[in-house]
Structure 1
Amino acid sequence: MRKALLSSLLLCVCAPFALAAPRIAPERLAELASDDYWLALGHYERKTLGGWRSYVDDEKFFLSAQGEHDPQAELRATLDALYEPTSSGDRHAQCRYPARTRWLREKLQLTDLPQPSCDEFRTWYADVAPHSAVLVFPAAYLNSPSSMFGHTLLRIDPEGVDDQGSPLLSYALNFGAMIEGMDNSILYAWKGLAGGYPGLFSLVPYREKLSEYNRLENRDLWEYRLNLTPQETARMIEHVWELNQIRFDYYFFDENCSYRLLELLQVARPGLQLTNQFPLTAIPTDTVRAVKEAGLVERIDYRPSREKELLARAEPLSDDEREWALRLADDEKRLDDLQFAALPVERRALVQDAAYRLVRYRATGEERDNVGAARSYALLRAINRTPPPALTVERPGLPETGHESRTWQLGAGSRDGEAFAEYGLRMAYHDLNDNGAGFPIGAQIEILDLRVRQYEDEHWQLQRLDLASIRSLTPRNRLLQPLSWQVSTGLERVAGRDGKQTLVRQLNGGAGGSWALGDDLLGFALATTRLENNPDFAGFIAPALGFDTGLLWRNALGNLSLEARGDYFHNGEVRRALSLNQQWELSRNLGLRLTAQRDFSHFDQPRNELMLELRWYHY
């Protein structure tokens, strides 16, 4: 009895020493703390003036009070925490930080670590069953401010999915802003730019994301299968567990969905230098290009949107057959119409399939209703009786093959005989006349476009500063009738009194329609409104109504636009402009643009301007 009591006392006294972390030489500790993998696990970056900072903005991620700025202190604290008693269960450091644990165990050969069960992590990891990864790029969707640059996420596949399984059983790994409440588009954009939202990682079934992007938002999906090994994929998912409910600041242009995923890829394959390519902005197409250039992509798959599938099915139909598709989509009873039954069987099959796809397209984002369900069912029964041929959708150009997102501009021109040089910088990322490869015709997204002019008398002036300029000119057809729209805001020069140009603040927008006049020719007409703060006007804000109409033509040289605009202010001022722009594509990232414009204003005589501009697209 006395011997047993003595043994128990000895165990109690010795236990703290048995669980103490090993002493590591300072040189070895510093070496480990500067390892690429440890820095990737902590999301550390080197500050401009020396030292470190972590992108993680959540103090509960760190075990050391200095962990946010000191990788070595965080490593030392992690070592100590790994040897704590297992009584804390799933809150033990080994359970919270499986990626750190595995790496330190391998590097330091820690064979005497305590053995907590970590049931929550093991269950979660077994459910995800990571084996391989796919980078998914839902293409740009201009009707949503959060999606107008596109998006990236990772699909995590279990073993066998690439050969015979279904990706619907996989998980989607996403980083996004956590938005509470119902912020409007303007407030969303402002908070996104200023870091007003926290960002979180989430892991959800891939079928949910597929429905959200490919079906609900009618966005094309590009899937880039990565050549990560099962071990590299497992490393990445271990770290995702460490980031569960950990907050990052979310910034629309740099610390966004794409940037965070690049950090995860650097955890999967230490030594990749992906994030340091994006010191200012991380636009999804640029990050996809960086992943591809790093040699990570082994295959690319394309999933067309519901809209693309509908248009592809309707493309071979005649005008009368498209009318029948519309009638069937409005009333399934027309399937029994004798005139419809008189169509050849193969034509009826195409029309029925187009009608069914139109019904499903119209139901996008809508609550399920009995009438729509009955119509879909009737059309499906007809399709089963006379099945159409398999649908093939032509794959568009890869989005990453387009020009890079930042543009430097150097121009020389003349305004009514007065010569000038113009210097410009646009942070992002495409206008109607830019190289169209990888971009849909009629799409424009410009952010922070600065133009400065130097006239021949050494007079310098700010010519314009567009904070944002967005145009969505989607062509209408018999089956689909999308609204074309545009909005822009910023500073610009307009005709002023005494023949001078006045710098004004403006906000304008418009809506109307666009029509495909040929394979590469688009016409548009929009009604516009404008609010302007002009020192030449008596009122603080002057409203105007107007129009904007023109043609876009993708030709053998590049892109040509011919445009007529007008603004009719309530105070009697009238402004009109005719402009022509033709860009020649010298290479993917180099263009030469000719601009000719004639301006009319009640304040001034008509003015003519001509400019030749070299545009260099460079991240």
Structure 2
Amino acid sequence: MSTIKPLIIFCTITHFLFFGIPAQASSATKILNLAEQLNLASHPTWLKLLHYERNTKHSVVLTKNFFISSNGRNNPSAELSATINAYFAPWEPGNMDEHARCRFPARYFWLSQQLPLPNYKIREPKCQKLENWALFERVKSISLLLVSGYLGNPASTFGHTLLKLNTDSTTDNQLFDLTLNYGALVPENENTLLYVVRGLWGGYEAGFSDKYFYTQDMVYSHTEQRDIWEYKLILSDEERLLLIFHIWEIVGHKFGYYFLDKNCAYRLAELLELVIDEELLGNVLVWYVPVELFHRLNDIDKVRHESIGQKLIQSVRFIPSSQRKFYQKLNLLTTEELEIFNSIILKGLHFSKEELEKISIERRILILDNLLAYYEYKLLADKPESIRKKEEIKKQILLARLQLPVRSMPTIKIPDLPSPAEGSPPMEFGFNIANESNKDVFLRLNWSPFKKELIGSNSLEGDELVVFDLTVGIHKDEHKIFLDQLDFIRVINLNTLPIQLADENHWSWKLRVGADRIEKEGKYRYDGVVSFGAGYAWEWNKNLITYGIADISAHTLAPYVRLRPHLGFRFDWRKTRAWFYLGTESASDNKFYEVWGGKIQYQLTDRYAFYAEFSNEKATQSSIGLKWYW
């Protein structure tokens, strides 16, 4: 027996050396030949897996170890050959997770559907890191998240997009679901102007990162006070698995970052295009803002439903910011109770103890519970230097609350806010007939890549954000084309918080950088304008918002500095929205002159609108026409 056992081992090793390796090499050769016959290297899915963009000859992934072949970034055929050969590479004990099958599961999952890969397993037991990360048994669906805009960060002004892997969690927020984020890798304390310039011209690298949803919720909902809309998608098991596999492949790898187009929405649209047949990135011009992705999802969903009776979007869930939740809770307090609430915020609990003890225990509990909610909300959003004082006040309130009976806060229902993608798309083209101050009539054409204005159906709560709003005029008789107006940026931020709190910012503000065509001394001239204003706004009901703001502006024509106090009114009635303003503006003779104007828009569909505008300030006094959004 002792001589037979070594002989068996010797024969086994000899067989492996002389037959096993050639057999593997033969299998690899056959697979490579079949892949070449099927022209898989130029297959759209293979190119998407490598992130070769449309009409380009290289991958946009910058990280070298994303490719197996040294020439994989520029040669999809070489990368395909290297990927197939790597499939047959031996497993290294103690380093199983570094095998190509573990690093690139999406590639092999797709290749297994095109080629007879021997011994292929969808879930390879040796890939323990992938098994632990992917939670295959628990992930039931995939969602895209649309985050509202945030004016505190230039890159977030137009919103943000995330992807979430939904587990079978029964909690409403599913805080431990894995969430995929794409963002620029920006140095700490980067200068804002440099940040904008480098973001526009590709000065940053970017990448995907995966975190639990609660970390994203903490930043967006609790710190920046942004609302989120969750679009849960209907994907097949195969589509969902391919997408999860590919997310594993790309997390941590670097891409180039461009603020206008190669941004979070664009990269997540690329991922989704891997598993759906429809295009999400077709006909992208100069800009791809986050809401654009969701408009296209809505369009695909509608076409699918009408043509084959199936949908892409299962549901849309509104996730309100912590500020919105908190203010909804405050509605439970009476006017007198709100006065006590504000008094405690301003002076502390001991100064208001007497007023607090005059009311019933039930109402006292409600005030203290709301105060605890308030300080929780403020501690998450405030700057570090002001946190210590608030923590001390919160402790005092908590001690006072512990002396009262246990009561749960009443259940508060937050009204759903429609998704921004339910309104008009952001890009706008308009044409209208206009009337000049000398009564001449001419044609005007208007275009903006991003227009969310007060009278538009995509302005949810009365704010305005417009970028590069270009208007040109065409005189038919004179055969002349001229610039009529240009706004590089126009912002109106109306703070219409429903309850006045002592420690909250209640300011509304406006900003405009642009140029107007005006009539001066019988001639048409161009006046460059930089204007900023601040004031207050009031929402009387869902149909009426008013504001009072004082602007100070710098001009290229005299008077060079002007003051403009004015009132504004925004009406919303079904499909009609209107905005009017009335005020006075200082002039060089130390007098104030009346200024007024307005716009009215009737929404025909989410893509078309009829509108009119008028003003006593510019060369163009009135116009009427049509708008097209896309």
Q: TM-score range by the shorter chain?
A: 0.7 to 0.9
1:297 to 2:313 alignment: yes
**TM-superposition CA deviations, 1:301-343 (whole Å, max 9, x none):** 2222122122222235432222122123345636984543443
Distance 1:3 1:433, change over 3 A: closer
> How far apart in 2 are the matches of 1:519 and 1:384?
38
Deviations 1:495-524 (A, max 9, x none): 44x322323444332333222244432222
Deviation at 1:127, TM superposition (A): 9.5
Q: Contact (CA 8 Å) 1:413, 1:609: kept in 2 or not? A: yes
- Cα offset, 1:260, TM superposition: 1.4
3-state SS in 1 of match to 2:617: strand
User: Per the alignment, in what secondary structure is the counterpart of residue 253 of structure 2?
Assistant: coil
Q: Does 1:510 align with 2:530?
A: no
Is the contact made by 1:135 and 1:155 (CA closer than 8 Å) also made in structure 2? yes
Match of 1:603 in 2: none
Structure 1 equivalent of residue 308 of structure 2 = none
Cα-to-partner distance string for 1:381-402 (whole Å, 9 max, x where unaligned): 4786344421111112232211
Q: Distance in 2 between matches of 1:353 and 1:336?
A: 16
Number of the residue aligned with 1:453: 473
Return the offset for 1:208: 0.7
Q: CA deviation at 1:128?
A: 10
Q: One-letter code of the match for 1:286?
A: E
- Which residue of 558, 578, 591 maps to 2:609? 591
What is residue 311 of structure 1 aligned with on the other side?
327
Alpha-carbon deviation of 1:492?
A: 3.4
Tell me if the contact between 2:372 and 2:394 (Cα under 8 Å) persists in the aligned partners: no
Q: Given residue 158 of structure 2, which amino acid in structure 1 is its aligned partner?
A: F
Which residue, out of 558, 563, 567, partners 2:581?
563
Contact preservation (8 Å) 2:102, 2:130: yes
* Match 2:294 to one of 275, 288, 296: 288
Cα deviation for residue 598 of structure 1 reads 0.7
1:549-604 CA-to-partner distances (Å, cap 9, x unmatched) read 4222223452222224666589989886321222222222222222111128xxxx
Q: How many Å separate the matches in 2 of 1:96 and 1:61?
A: 9
Q: Letter of the aligned partner of 2:67 in structure 1?
A: F
1:98 and 2:114 aligned: no
Give the stretch that moved more between structures: 568-577 or 608-617: 568-577
CA contact (8 A) 1:329 1:358 kept: no
**Distance apart, 1:282 and its partner CA:** 2.4
1:140 to 145, 149, 170: 149
Question: How many corresponding residue pairs?
Answer: 598
CA distance in structure 2 between the partners assigned to 1:42 and 1:373 by the alignment: 52
Between stretches 270-279 and 552-561, larger displacement belongs to: 270-279
Deviation at 1:207, TM superposition (A): 1.0
Superposition RMSD in Å: 3.5
Match of 1:581 in 2: 599
Query: Following the alignment from structure 1 to structure 2, what is the Cα–Cα distance between the partners of residues 251 and 376?
Result: 48
Moved more, 14-23 or 553-562: 14-23
Q: Determine the structure 1 residue equivalent to 2:450.
A: 428
CA distance in 2, matches of 1:289, 1:387: 40
Equivalent position SS for 2:349? helix
Amino acid at match of 1:459: K
Q: Structure 1 vs Structure 2: percent identity of aligned residues?
A: 24
Structure 2 residue identity aligned to 1:352: L
Equivalent residues in 2 for 1:39-438, closer than 5 Å: 39-47=47-55, 52-64=57-69, 66-87=71-92, 90-111=97-118, 117-126=126-135, 130-158=139-167, 160-161=168-169, 163=170, 167-267=174-274, 269-276=275-282, 278-292=284-298, 293-294=300-301, 295-330=311-346, 333=349, 337-344=353-360, 347-366=363-382, 367=384, 368-369=387-388, 370-375=391-396, 377-378=398-399, 381=402, 385-416=406-437, 417-435=439-457
Contact 2:329-2:370 within 8 A present in 1 as well = yes
Q: Does 1:610 align with 2:610?
A: no
Aligned to 2:3: none
Q: Which amino acid aligns with 1:365?
A: A
Cα distance change of structure 1 residues 560 and 185 upon mapping to structure 2, 3 Å threshold: farther
Does the 8 Å contact 1:544/1:569 carry over to 2? yes
1:222 and 1:300 in contact (8 A); partners too: yes
1:604 corresponding residue in structure 2: none
Structure 2 counterparts to residues 432-581 of structure 1, below 5 A: 432-435=454-457, 439-455=459-475, 456-475=477-496, 477-479=499-501, 480-496=504-520, 498-532=521-555, 534=556, 544-556=562-574, 558-564=576-582, 577-581=595-599
Q: 1:270 to 1:486 in 2, by over 3 A?
A: same
Rate the CA distance shift 1:486–1:194 in 2: closer, same or farther, 3 A: farther
Structure 1 SS opposite 2:431:
strand
**In the aligned structure 2, how far is the partner of 1:359 from the partner of 1:165?**
23
- Determine if contact 2:585/2:595 at 8 Å carries over to the other structure: no
Aligned partners of 1:423 and 1:311: how far apart in 2? 43
Q: Mark the CA change 1:110 to 1:350 in structure 2 (over 3 Å): closer, same or farther.
A: same
Gaps of 5+ in 2: 1-5, 302-310
Q: Secondary structure at the match of 1:228?
A: coil
Unaligned runs of at least 5 residues, structure 1:
601-606
Which deviates further from its counterpart, 5-14 or 311-320? Answer: 5-14
